[in-house]
Structure 1
Amino acid sequence: MGGPGRGGPGCGGRVSGEGAAVRGGRDRGARNYVVVGGTSGLGLAAARLLADEDRVVVLGDVPDEVTSVADDLGCDGGVCDTSAYDEVRDAFAEVVRRYGTIDGVLACASVWAGGDLADLPPERIRRAVEVNALGTTYVLKEALHHLRRQGYGNVVYVGAIAVTQPRPGIPVYRATKSYGTSLVESLAEAQHSNRIKVMQLHPGPMPTRLQERVGDEFLDEVYALPEQVAAEAVRLLRLAPDDLYVSGERVLRADGRW
C-alpha cells in the first residue's frame, strides 16, 4: 500500500495512498477509522469530521469517487464492493497491515430499492440484497474479527428509521435494512464486553445520492441532513472502551428531530 493515485482504478479491495500516512506522522495520538460507503452522503460527512483529527480509510465501489474523496480529505481510500467477501476481507486486512489497529468502523454502504415489489426489476432486487444484506454481513464479520483480535473498538451500523414502522412503498429496501438491524442486535448481544461496542444509528430520510443513483426522486418532505446525523455517528465511533455506552445502543433520528 502506498504511492500516488490513492483509491484509483484497479486497486480492488486494497487500500492505497499517502495522505493518511502523512497525517498520521503529524498526529501520533490519532485513531484509525474505516468508513464503508464513505464517498457520499452520511458516510462522506462522517469521514470529513473524522479526518480533522484522526486517520480515515474511505471504502467505496466507484474508483473515481474514492480517488476524489481521498484527495479531498487527505486520507486513504480503497475500492471495495461489499457484496464480494474477498474484497471486504482484503480491504480490512490492508488497513490493519498499514496501521496495526482499527478503532472504529462506520458501516453505511447501502443500495436503494424503492417502489412496489411488482414494479422492481429483478436485478435491482438482487443488488439490494447483495449490498444491504450480504455486504453488511461481510463488513461486520471482518470488522469484528479485527476488533476482537485487538480487544476493543466500535462498530456503528447505519440503518433507517423505516425499519421501525411499515413503509408500503419500499418493501425490499425496508426488508434488507431490517436484516441489518436484526444482525446488529444479535452481534451486540454476543460481545459479552463493553470494550467492543456494536451500535446502530437509524436516520430519518436524508437528501443523499442513495436514490438518485438508481434514478428515483427524493420524495420525503421532512428530512435530516447528512451533516447532522454524521455528528452523532462520529460521537459513537469515538466512544472509549470504558465509556458507559453499551454494545447494542440504538440511536434513532426521525423527521429531522431527535
Structure 2
Amino acid sequence: MAARSFVVVGGTSGLGLAVARLLVDEYRVAVLSDQADEVATVTAELGCDGSVCDVSDHDQVHEAFAALARRWDTIDGVAACASMWAGGDLEDLAPERIRRAVEVNVLGATYVLKEALHHLRRQGYGNVVWIGAMAVAKPRPGIPVYRATKSYGSSLVESLAEAQHSNAVKVMQVHPGPMPTRLQERVGDEFLDEVYALPEQVAAEVVRLLLLTPDDLYVSGERVLRADGRF
C-alpha cells in the first residue's frame, strides 16, 4: 500500500506544527505557511515537504494542492490550521486588522476547503479536519471579529459535510480552547484559562481524525472535540 499523505495548512507553528510532528515519522507530510523562513526551518527539521502559501490567495492555494497531488498522486488528509487573531473591541480594531482576519479566517478557510475537497472527491476518499475555536461555542468579551470569522468557518464545514453524501470523504472540525501557542502570545494571558489543553494534546485528536479510513463509520461534520481541557 502506498504511503499515506497529509497536508497541514498553517503547519509551521502552534497546533499545526504539533500535528506535522506527530505525522511525519510514518507518513508523507507537507506544511503550508505564508512565512518563507518558517517553511524552510520546519521542512529542514522534520524532513517533510513544504511550500509558501498565503491562504487568502486562491491561486496560491490552488497551485499548492495541485503540486502535491502531482507529486503524491493522492492526498489522504488535510488539517486546516491556519488562523488569524483579531482581538479587541470592534471600535478599537484597525481596519487593516479586520481585513486580514477576514482574508485568513473566511477567504482562507473557503479556499483551503474548496481545493482540499476537490482532490479528495476526485480520488473518492480522504479527511479534512478544520480547526475552529471554542469562541464559536462560547462568546467572550473582546473578540467579536475573531469569533465572527471563525463562526463562518464552522458553518461552512457543517454545510460541506452534509454535501458529501458519502462517509468516504469526511469533513470534521475541532474547537480548541486557548492554548499556549504563538497565537496565544498575541492574545495575551488574560485569555488563557486556568485549565487548558496543550497543542500536543489537541494535535493527537486531530491526527486521530485524519487517520480515519473510508470504512470508519464516523459522523462527518460533527464538532468532534471541544478541547478546552474541561473533559
- Verify: 1:61 aligned to 2:34, yes or no: yes
Provide the identity percentage.
Answer: 76
- Verify: 1:153 aligned to 2:126, yes or no: yes
Counterpart of 2:193? 221
What secondary structure sits across from 1:193 in the alignment? coil
Count of paired positions: 229
Deviations 1:69-95 (A, max 9, x none): 111111001000000000000000000
- Aligned ranges 1:105-116 → 2 under 5 Å: 105-116=78-89
Distance, in Å, in 2 between the alignment partners of 1:136 and 1:84 is 11
- Verify: 1:166 aligned to 2:120, yes or no: no
> Tell me, which stretches of 5 or more residues in structure 2 are unaligned?
none
Contact 1:199–1:247 at 8 Å: present in 2 too? Answer: yes
Q: In the TM superposition, what is the alpha-carbon distance from 1:253 to its structure 2 partner?
A: 2.4
What secondary structure sits across from 1:113 in the alignment? coil
What secondary structure sits across from 1:201 in the alignment? strand
Which of 163, 177, 180 aligns to 2:150? It is: 177
- Aligned ranges 1:204-243 → 2 under 5 Å: 204-212=177-185, 215-219=186-190, 220-222=192-194, 223-243=196-216
Contact 1:39–1:66 at 8 Å: present in 2 too? Answer: yes
Distance, in Å, in 2 between the alignment partners of 1:68 and 1:253 is 31
- Aligned ranges 1:1-258 → 2 under 5 Å: 29-212=2-185, 215-219=186-190, 220-222=192-194, 223-258=196-231
Letter in 1 for 2:125: Y
Distance, in Å, in 2 between the alignment partners of 1:202 and 1:255 is 8
Q: In the TM superposition, what is the alpha-carbon distance from 1:167 to its structure 2 partner?
A: 1.5
Distance, in Å, in 1 between the alignment partners of 2:27 and 2:136 is 32
Q: In the TM superposition, what is the alpha-carbon distance from 1:254 to its structure 2 partner?
A: 4.2
> Tell me, which stretches of 5 or more residues in structure 1 are unaligned?
1-27
Counterpart of 1:16? none
Distance, in Å, in 2 between the alignment partners of 1:192 and 1:202 is 24
Question: Where does structure 1 differ by over 6 angstroms across 4 or more consecutive aligned residues?
Answer: none
Contact 2:174–2:227 at 8 Å: present in 1 too? Answer: no
